[in-house]
């Protein structure tokens, strides 16, 4: 069945470090892929998305490229900030979510 496998956390980085959170998926067809973010004390919100192969979603310095050949949608950011500390969820179609990766950025 359709599913998402997400890199386990927690992840702790120093400010300005490079971030990668891995996400791979199993699906029939050509799913839309999403990254959601949950900041402390807040609800989940959409960070970025891609709807077809080779699409790159980007927002707030984060990027993810829809790789059909590797069935992946890894989240990257070149220089993280303390304000990026949150839990990040990869999602497939609308309803299949990864387990979430907690990111803490220290000054």
Partner 1 sequence: SAVISQKPSRDICQRGTSLTIQCQVDSQVTMMFWYRQQPGQSLTLIATANQGSEATYESGFVIDKFPISRPNLTFSTLTVSNMSPEDSSIYLCSVALAGPAYNEQFFGPGTRLTVL
Binding site for partner 1 (CB under 8 A): 4, 6, 32, 34, 36, 41-46, 49, 89, 93-95, 97-100
Minimum separation from the CB atom of position 3 to partner 1 (A): 9
- Measured from the CB atom, the residue of 17 and 93 that comes closer to partner 1 is 93
Q: Which two tokens stand for residue 95?
A: 């309803």
Burial of 92 (0-12, 13-18, 19+ CB in 10 A): buried
Which residue number, 62 or 98, has a Cβ lying nearer to partner 1?
98
Least distance to partner 1, CB of residue 81, Å:
23
Q: Are 15 and 107 in contact (CB under 8 A)?
A: yes
Q: Taking the complex as a whole, how short is the minimal distance between the CB of residue 29 and partner 1, in angstroms?
A: 13
Provide, rounded to whole angstroms, the least separation between the CB of residue 13 and partner 1: 21
Question: Which CB atom, from 19 or from 33, has the smaller least distance to partner 1?
Answer: 33
- Residue 24: CB partners within 8 Å, gap ≥ 6? 4, 5, 70, 71, 72, 73
């Amino acid at each position: 069945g359709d599913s998402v496998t997400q890199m386990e956390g927690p992840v702790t980085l120093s400010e300005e470090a490079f971030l990668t959170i891995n996400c791979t998926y199993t699906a029939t067809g050509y799913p839309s892929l999403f990254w959601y973010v949950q900041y402390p004390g807040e609800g989940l919100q959409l960070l970025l998305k891609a709807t077809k192969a080779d699409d790159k979603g980007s927002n707030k310095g984060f990027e993810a490229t829809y790789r059909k050949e590797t069935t992946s949608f890894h989240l990257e950011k070149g220089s993280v900030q303390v304000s990026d500390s949150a839990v990040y969820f990869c999602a497939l179609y609308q309803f299949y979510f990864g387990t979430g990766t907690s990111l803490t950025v220290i000054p």
